[in-house]
Structure 1
Amino acid sequence: MDRVILHCDLNCFYASVELLSHPELRTVPMAVCGDPASRHGIILAKNEPAKKYGVQTAETIWQAKKKCPDLVLLPPHHDLYRQYSRQVNAIYDTYTDLVEPFGIDESWLDITHTLHLLGGDAQAVANQLRERIKRELGLTLSVGVSFNKVFAKLGSDYKKPDATTVISRENWRQLLWPLPVGAMLYVGGAAQKLLHQYGVDTLGQLAACKPTMLETLMGKMGPQLQACANGQDQDPVRSRYEAEPVKSVGNGTTFPQNLTKPEQVRTGIAMLCDSVATRLRHAGLYAGGVQVTVRDPAFHDRSRQAQLPAPTHLIRDLTAAAMDLTSQLWKPPTPIRALTVTAIHLLPEGSAYEQVDLFTAGAAPQREKQEKLEAAMARIRGKFGSGAIVYGAAQPEKEEDPFS
């Protein structure tokens, strides 16, 4: 028996919530954006009139203004968006107990086992849901209906705004295979470029690829994408009350001014690693690897990752690894706009182990001392607040500068 899955996507969510308080802006180009003064000046959401001018989410304000000089800009109100998101998901809960949020404005609903209670017609349920959200909250919804999560999401993207699209066993090849590969979940920009080099530009072409070829090109992700393009996605819809395994813990920041000096970068890396290490400790997790992403003023990102010698949640260890990766990605005085540090290959506390090296076995007492130090820091912060004590900026372990 096929599953019956809905993917519900709130249209222009941030902008739609703002328009509830500013109905006079419904017919004029409007966008919600970050604060230019704090260097978060990008478009977060836009309304339909702004879309007609080509305004895009995540582009800079000056790019958007160039396309649409009369664009009205509003600041975001994230608490309000979270409030509306909770209300929407509460409505979803009346249809099924299997509701899996995907960000603040999207959710999957598995109604396989409740469909008979809802009238038996999945498309009618989707239309009813759209009308209810519009009536009770003043927001519009696009819904995809299908037999797996990937196709349901393609359905909600297929026609917007305020629409229902059914991707069935009978029509999925006709509707989906002509679409560009980038339309499918998990196919990012880098994957699109790689596939294009081998003549794979549509979902139909991806579906026709040999899994062995894709595995050679993309690793294990390749055959998974090919299976999804052939309608074989089996990923379950998880209740939002079911804890999902944490796959990574990261933190990034955009700096008020570009970083150009090694000491500035060290301070930024140390601050991010402090945050990541604290979250790892609270979650009872150890990092098996670290990834660093460096963004330049033109919004170009460069990333590198490395396996750690031993799993860790120590600020010192994460900082040293992140500094080494950063030195491979960046040379001063090239400006840095933003940095992100992510702990990857996570292991739960108790399963993490360290292989003892005969030549470095003497470092064990030092490591134990560092564990006690950072645990004490965590207790002080827990009692007096996160700003009560701060770990010092990372310093190079060797005398030579890693950025020279």
Structure 2
Amino acid sequence: MTDRAQQIAERVERFVRDTVVPYESDPRCGSHGPSDELVMEMREKARAADVLTPHILDDGSHLTQVETALVLRKSGLSPLGPLAVNTMAPDEGNMYLLGKVGSPEQKAHYLKPLLEGRARSAFFMTEPASEGGAGSDPSMMRTTCRKDGNHWVINGRKAFITGADGAKVGIVMAKSDEGACMFLVDLPDPAIRIERVLDTIDSSMPGGHSIIAIENLRVPADQMLGHAGEGFKYAQIRLSPARLSHCMRWLGSCTRAHEIALDYANRRQAFGKSLIDHEGVGFMLAENLIDLKQCELMIDWCAGVLDGGSLGTTESSMAKVAVSEALMRIADRCVQVMGGTGVSRDTIVEQTFREVRAFRIYDGPTEVHKWSLAKKIKRDWKASHGH
């Protein structure tokens, strides 16, 4: 690990523990995520502490993925931490994509306010399952775009669009005759209508998750991100590291949940001794320690693959499965160790459990990644046996 990453991570951890943690009981944290007022208040403090958008340097370059893993893990020590220091999804992934694919003009207009933490963004890809739209299988996309002079006209419906309510920047995926396309849009736009914000198990992301109707949205041709027909390629550029970033952040949250459960187990007495001295409890905490270390090693390995220049789709799938499932075990054990207190909102343990349960689904459910890996195993076997 580099000295610069260690120094940034230490500043981020200190800021999250000292400044952000007290906000966890703020009434502005609602069922559809923290309010924008709260987010901007925390970001002003992060800006003053020089920890805002810490994974992107002043010259616009990014920390390596291995370095980012350490910094994002520290930001995740509170569910509010990534929001406060501007490392949260979907903005973190959208910034990465814009930095890789956006034109200089697009970066100046759309990326700059995101980097500065003055705007939020939304990624419009997933569609309603009830209408046969795209979910884990993006080839099922039903949202269309057609050229009309110097504009593109987009129509369709989207679902589970995180942060759409209150976002200023949108990345919209649609299909044309050439294939999948991505467009940058300024929000709000009257042609992009929020039908409703869903009530979901998680509550860490501002704006919640919305059902969206897109009706005759006209987008200037120069707001296409990259080239027509290459939308799926750009989606992979975004999603492979984004899956890993989720692993980094939620590992931080589960590390903190483990700290809370460990403290509880040492302070709480039952049947004449501390809870931790009962094997049933002590063993759960020991298993947590093992899973936490395995998650860290898996993340660092996958980050190294991405730093080596590979797209890392296979590796990020393996990390998403291994880490999300291990974090679920950790969060569940923390709740169990703490009993009734674990399911109350007196600590973040209850929220961490809910957030990690949702993480097992978004950015590809465990089963989809396993299916994809199994297909690769079969392809590799065929290739090695001359089939």
- After TM superposition, the score normalised by the length of structure 2 is 0.25
Between Structure 1 and Structure 2, whose CA radius of gyration is higher?
1
Calculate the TM-score normalised by the size of structure 1.
0.25
| Structure having greater relative contact order (Cα 8 Å, sep ≥ 6) | 2
